[in-house]
Structure 1
Amino acid sequence: MTMKRLVGSAAVAVALVLVVSSPAEARRAVHESSPVWELPGVAPEVADASASITRSNGGVTVRLDSSGFGLHHAVTLWSISFDHPENCDHGGPLPDGRVALCGPGDDAATDTGFRVQQLGGHVIGANGNANYAGHVDVDDPFGAEFHIVIADHGPKDPAQLPGQIMSPAPGSQIAFFIP
């Protein structure tokens, strides 16, 4: 085979791979918003809060802004994700009419793809605002369910930092993103 035919054949093979694989693999990024609610009862809605995610082939970008936290409180943001929400059994209705597929109890099931990831943490300043952004890696960014939780760890304790903002704590606010 001549070099010219070899290069031509290789170019055709690459073009076929791109044509065949691109539509199935490359999806448009999807931006979603969700209300933020007070925990533990998932009500009422937090007035000065907003949460959004962008699902893309590279993962999920999370943004959550909220207010009303105590001065010098240690506050963290967490992603609770379920890669396989179709295997969840403990979901339920949300205050805005949507239905979460996953809930407490699905974290113990091995086939839900349950994962917890810290997205940020800092000590709150005088304005009481918590503004976070982070990236979540999941197997299927477009099919996973996300529960985004802000946890208020209470007043900062210099003897406990940075550990105080590096460990889970009961959440105080939550947003849900359903596939």
Structure 2
Amino acid sequence: MKTLKLLPILLITGLLFGCESYTPVSPESELAIAELQLDAAAKVNTKSTADIFNFVTGDLIGKSTLHRNGNGITVNFKTTGLMPGHAYTLWWVVWNKPENCATPGACVESDFANALNVEVQLLYATGSIAGNNGKGNFSAHLKENDDSGSVHEIFGLPNFGGLQDAHAAEIHAVLRSHGPKIPGQVGEQINSYEGGCVVNFPAFTEIPDEAGECGDIIAAIHGPL
């Protein structure tokens, strides 16, 4: 009889301690978890490559590699076809809201007219003098929210704080020619947008070949992820 009395107690004990507890997850919590997972995935290291074109001649002249992570972007821009002894600067053209371009995710120069919505920012990347082989190897890094290299005031654009989101932005790497190096002005030529410039050709229309001539001639386009 004692064994029979103990049986209900053992069953109750097993129910209390032998089963795992379960707390239902609300749909709102599931959505929040999913958003966190997506955000974490977006911050991983990514790599993309893009063709480099001389947009004046239409020639394919190299490859651009862009690395992105939660801290910013790094570019390696390898090109041929440069003028030996000429000064060049590489520029970031950051379209922070590429979805607002006339063709979403495929921004072009005319989208500058919609700057307040696309939040485009132009920033200095790096610069150098081309060697005798006409090859260029430009590397630069841009941190998120770093606008120290911005030249927005030259174009009458607002300052949007630099690169807002490394993965969401459309990135154009643009190479600008400052013509032949000018003694005493080389530092300005390879470190500023207007260094050594007397004549500024409209973007992608003419290749500078005389001292004092400048123009954007070469670019690679990395779309948003």
TM-score (normalizing by structure 2): 0.60
The partner residue of 1:130 within 119, 125, 136 is 136
Letter in 2 for 1:146: I
Deviates more, 1:20-29 or 1:103-112: 20-29
Q: Percent identity?
A: 27
Q: Give the match for residue 118 of structure 1.
A: 124
Structure with the largest fraction of strand:
1
For residues 110-154 of structure 1, the C-alpha deviation after alignment (integer angstroms, 9 at most, x for no partner) is 121201111111112222221111112311111100111111211
- Could you tell me how far apart the structure 2 residues matched to 1:135 and 1:22 are? 27
Say whether the 8 Å CA contact 1:75–1:130 is kept in structure 2.
no
Secondary structure in 1 matching 2:108: coil
- Could you tell me how far apart the structure 1 residues matched to 2:165 and 2:178 are? 31
Say whether the 8 Å CA contact 2:95–2:170 is kept in structure 1.
yes
Q: Specify which structure has the bigger relative contact order, considering alpha-carbon pairs within 8 angstroms and separated by 6 or more residues.
A: 1
Q: Give the match for residue 35 of structure 1.
A: 51
Task: Please list every run of 5 or more consecutive structure 1 residues that lacks an aligned counterpart in the other structure.
Answer: 1-19, 92-98
Secondary structure in 2 matching 1:106: helix
Give the superposition deviation at 1:45. 1.6
- Could you tell me how far apart the structure 1 residues matched to 2:76 and 2:36 are? 28
Greater Rg, structure 1 or structure 2?
2
RMSD across aligned positions (CA): 2.3
Task: Please list every run of 5 or more consecutive structure 2 residues that lacks an aligned counterpart in the other structure.
Answer: 1-32, 145-162, 195-213
Say whether the 8 Å CA contact 1:100–1:176 is kept in structure 2.
no
> How many residues are treated as equivalent by the alignment?
150
1:144 corresponds to 2:169 = yes
Q: Give the match for residue 220 of structure 2.
A: 175
TM-score (normalizing by structure 1): 0.75
Aligned structure 1 segments of 4 or more residues deviating by more than 3 angstroms: 20-23
Structure with the largest fraction of helix:
2
